Structure 1
């Protein structure tokens, strides 16, 4: 996360209902983090050489540029109504939405956006802008989706990878700031092999395996409660497919936190399959946390 005191929480808007939900979430996050809120609209039309001024003879309030100004103003008003006294700015930046938000990320504390926008297909569960920004941003990305459950714990996916440790740190800090417990979940399927070429056993002791996975999970999180003194941590190892286990757990969480890439992901991918799955299937907002590139 950007450590500069001036780093803002940035939210992308396009006038859609999901974007306004993201504005409300971003305003709340900015207040929690004592950060300013920066509202950004990616104005793609100049790149497409589309006329943006009012047509000849049309009212002066017409045109695509004026419409963009109106939606940014509406987003600012929504944020002001959500959190009084918050430092808020709005800007229209020429460019495609995902590229604009990724461009904001090196100096942002957090990027917030809706799961789908005006340009999304209704059949898609999560829009391409959310996926692209979550994959390429240089700061944590928070996607507003699912239900708001302020009294439920923060959920974090843990698999022992460096990415999941970064996610756990972010989740712990968030849980403490929100005054709720942190639930760390590790999903497992079968016993792991002990070396190259080893085969997984066809028959194994499930109770023994579960105990081993719980101890492994606790080991991965060693030091987390010392680093975050007020943290209330619960660890849970669950047998099942990772995506399904986390999606189920997200139904009783206020936020799900995942690393951008974890164990078993293909090298070179910026957004792992678990992150992708949660963006599509989580029942609460999702934060994707990347480590250094």
Structure 2
């Protein structure tokens, strides 16, 4: 019905320059992975207080569909300029952006969005749309960002991954290892620790613990989490970094020299409350390079 292609790299398009840069980034990713690229423009009929005549309503719908096809054609041309032989399909869809893109993720290998949107995504993608899609996607999602709002994403530097020993970060580690391998670059696994726990409570005796001993113990935990991935990717150079502080600040600092940051998704799964972990949300909004948010594989009917 919608021409889904299992295993494609899917990029959301809305006519903004950010979305075109994201499409080109997605084209590079599809080329590296040997996958087709699917460009999707989601549009929604504007809400009006007074009912429109049938003819006017259909004219608006036809105009939006035509505009969407034009934006898709522009994005397709930009990608083909970089990868002339890449297999690309396009789809203009009238629906809720979050719902449509979440459905797209059921068939995709990777979902890619720009960092700033236009009206086609009902406002900035860094707002509710990107966060909601990242919280509910069925595949990894990448929000493409550059050093400055209108900069292209960096193409050099290591892949940086946040690791905290959780299943979420283990899934992120696996994705990051494969990304580093595909790009022929190194991987930096970052782990942070603090005297303050995630719920804001202090450790029982923070001042009685030796920070050097804590750092050494946390480094052992990180090494234990990474060792299995090192065996799977023996050719990959993996650097460990353990530091005292907050994950967001540390990852943003490392992102200044990286080409991709990878984190796990710590959202609750529902559409109410916290849609996505605070670290992921902050990186989506402020990272100086593309950010991948990876959900662990789920089984059964749970989210």
Shorter-chain TM-score range:
0.7 to 0.9
> Paired residue for 2:8?
8
> Paired residue for 2:278?
273
The superposition leaves residues 91-132 of structure 1 with CA deviations (integer Å, 9 ceiling, x where unpaired) of 11110222211110111000001112003798x792322111
Give structure 2 stretches of 5+ with no counterpart: 148-152
| SS of residue paired to 1:133 | helix
Give structure 1 stretches of 5+ with no counterpart: 56-61
Contact kept, 8 Å, 1:183 with 1:236, in 2: the verdict is yes
Aligned length: 277
- Moved segments of 4+, more than 4 Å: 46-55, 265-270
C-alpha separation between the residues in 2 aligned to 1:209 and 1:270?
31
> Paired residue for 2:213?
208
**1:151: Cα distance to partner?**
2.5
C-alpha separation between the residues in 2 aligned to 1:86 and 1:227?
29
Q: Which moved more, 1:229-238 or 1:62-71?
A: 62-71
> Paired residue for 2:229?
224
C-alpha separation between the residues in 1 aligned to 2:154 and 2:110?
20
C-alpha separation between the residues in 2 aligned to 1:200 and 1:273?
26
Matches for 1:68-87 after TM superposition, within 5 Å: 68-87=68-87
The 1:127–1:115 alpha-carbon spacing in structure 2 relative to 1, beyond 3 Å, is farther
> Paired residue for 1:59?
none
> Paired residue for 2:131?
131
User: Is 1:153 equivalent to 2:158 in the alignment?
Assistant: yes
C-alpha separation between the residues in 2 aligned to 1:52 and 1:66?
14
> Paired residue for 2:264?
259
The superposition leaves residues 143-174 of structure 1 with CA deviations (integer Å, 9 ceiling, x where unpaired) of 01124332200000000000000000000011
| SS of residue paired to 1:256 | strand
The 1:30–1:210 alpha-carbon spacing in structure 2 relative to 1, beyond 3 Å, is same
Contact kept, 8 Å, 2:131 with 2:275, in 1: the verdict is no
Contact kept, 8 Å, 2:132 with 2:275, in 1: the verdict is no
**1:246: Cα distance to partner?**
1.0
Matches for 1:155-194 after TM superposition, within 5 Å: 155-190=160-195
> Paired residue for 1:94?
94
The 1:10–1:214 alpha-carbon spacing in structure 2 relative to 1, beyond 3 Å, is same
Contact kept, 8 Å, 1:52 with 1:64, in 2: the verdict is no
> Paired residue for 2:293?
288
TM-score by length of 1: 0.86
> Paired residue for 1:242?
247
Contact kept, 8 Å, 1:191 with 1:200, in 2: the verdict is no
**1:216: Cα distance to partner?**
1.6
Matches for 1:107-118 after TM superposition, within 5 Å: 107-118=107-118
> Paired residue for 1:105?
105
User: Is 1:28 equivalent to 2:50 in the alignment?
Assistant: no
**1:271: Cα distance to partner?**
1.7
C-alpha separation between the residues in 1 aligned to 2:110 and 2:269?
25
| SS of residue paired to 1:93 | strand
Contact kept, 8 Å, 1:47 with 1:95, in 2: the verdict is no
